[in-house]
Structures are given as C-alpha cells and as structure tokens.
Amino acid sequence: MNRILTEQELAHYHREGYVVIKNLFPLEELVSINRDLDAFMQRAEYEPFKGGRENMEGWIMQLGLSTQKAADFCADDRILDLVEPIVHPGIAIYSAKLVSKEPRDGVICHWHQDDAYYTKMSQSRTRMSVWIPLQDTTVEHGCLQVIPRSHQRGLQSSSEKEGGTCNLGIDGPIDLENRTYLPATAGSIVLFSALLWHASSGNDTDQRRRAFIVSYQEATAQGGNGAQWHILRAA
C-alpha cells in the first residue's frame, strides 16, 4: 500500500501552502532516472525539448513526453496517492519539466507563483506542483525557497524580470523575513500550491542540481501545457 498524507500533513499543506514528504523514492531509482536523462540528452531528439532560453542549460521542457521512464515517473501512483486529497475531482497532469542548476551556476529563479504562468492556459481550483530533487539538495545547491502562507493572498500582479529564470516574477515586495528554505535529501519531495510564492538561488557547489517539477490539476479543468496535459485519474 502506498503512503498517503496524514491529517497533519494535509492540514499543513492547506495552512502553509506546502508540505515536505521524506524518503518517498529509493536512491537507486533516482540514479536510474538520472542515467536515462543523461542518455536522452545525448540523442538528437533532445533538441526540441531544450529550455530554449538563456540560463536554461540542462533543462528538459515537456519532460513527460521525453522518455517513457520520465513519463512513468510523472504518473507514478506513489505521487498520485499523495496528491489525491489535494487535487480533485480526478487528477490530470498540467505539465512537467526537468530544471537543472549546473555547478557554480549563479543563476537565480525569481520569486513567482506557478499560476502566473498556468492560468494563461487553464483555470483550476486545486492546481499544485511536486518538486522532486534527483540528488541531495542543500541551501548551497539552490534548494527551494518559499514564503509560507503566501498562497492565501491569491494570484498577484507579475511582470517580466531581467536575468535568471522564472522571469514572470511577483511585482510587490517579498517579505523575506518569512522566507523558509527547504533543503531535501534525494528521495524526498515537496508538495506546494500553484499560488505559493517560491524561488531559488544559484548553485554554489561543484555538483549539478537537478529536480523534476510536475504540476497537477483536477481532471475537470480543461487544458494544460500543450500535449503534456492528460487525465491520469478520471473524476
């Protein structure tokens, strides 16, 4: 039987906008996925999946369409069973991508909300993302940063920001005194609301930092990021 959210974890998600789930995936499974991605990125068919913008070296856009192993991982029941109490009725995948911070890459991801991007394609009441590091990710690696409870403020005004990634950044002041860093070991994941304010710093280490970001929404919300959108569990 797969792990499900406890009442306390679900309450934390709704109150704070996120919850950390530790040790969901075995390390050897992540090693295998990393090898699969390395092999894919050496092949010609990788070209259409590149980030396509400055500062996006090593990214794979439309991850769920790139390799069968990546597609299976995005639809893994271990993830879906965790998000089911949050995303309903039914579960659809909105998008999935691999984000990479190369060694000593100082590029930041601006403070933003996923729904600043996603609402252009689809309207959803329960949309959220799962952040899955493929290796241990510390503050020095550029782990996820969040502003707890910021999702309660709704969708904020945003505009294009210079430099870095996640360029559709929040316009208003960011209350950094409430910032929380979320370092995570390989195999752990972070579930967070599509309205939660989040960001990341550069990678100050000699190791590459890879993470999957898979976004889900209720199956009754129509549309998503291109051909990646499809229903995983019917309403």
What is the residue extent of each domain of the chain? 7-233
Comparison of pLDDT for 60 and 113, the residue scoring more: 113
Residue 53's pLDDT is 66
Torsion of CA 225, 229, 234, 235, to 10 degrees: 10
pLDDT at position 15: 98
pLDDT at 59 over 90: no
| 49-53, 85-89, 227-231: range with lowest mean pLDDT | 49-53
Mapped onto helix, strand or coil, the DSSP state of residue 65 is: helix
Topology of domain 7-233, CATH: Jelly Rolls (2.60.120)
pLDDT at residue 49, as a whole number: 85
3-state secondary structure of 185: coil
User: Cα separations (Å) of 1 from 4, 76, 81, 92, 144?
Assistant: 9, 13, 10, 22, 29
Mean pLDDT over all residues of the chain? Answer: 94
Q: Nearest 5 degrees, angle CA 126-CA 132-CA 136?
A: 150
pLDDT at 138: 97
- Does residue 144 surpass a pLDDT of 80? yes
Q: What is the pLDDT of residue 113?
A: 98
Q: What is the pLDDT of residues 103-134, one digit of tens each?
A: 999 999 999 999 999 999 999 999 999 999 99
Residue 223 has pLDDT above 80, yes or no: yes
Give the pLDDT confidence score for residue 21 in this predicted structure: 98
pLDDT tens for residues 155-166?
Answer: 999 999 998 899
pTM beyond cutoff 0.85: yes
Closest CA to 3 of 69, 109, 85: 85
| Segment 181-221, tens digit of pLDDT | 999 999 999 999 999 999 999 999 999 999 999 999 999 99
Helix/strand/coil (H, E, C) string of 13-28? HHHHCEEEECCCCCHH
Each residue's pLDDT tens digit, 5-47: 999 999 999 999 999 999 999 999 999 999 999 998 898 888 8
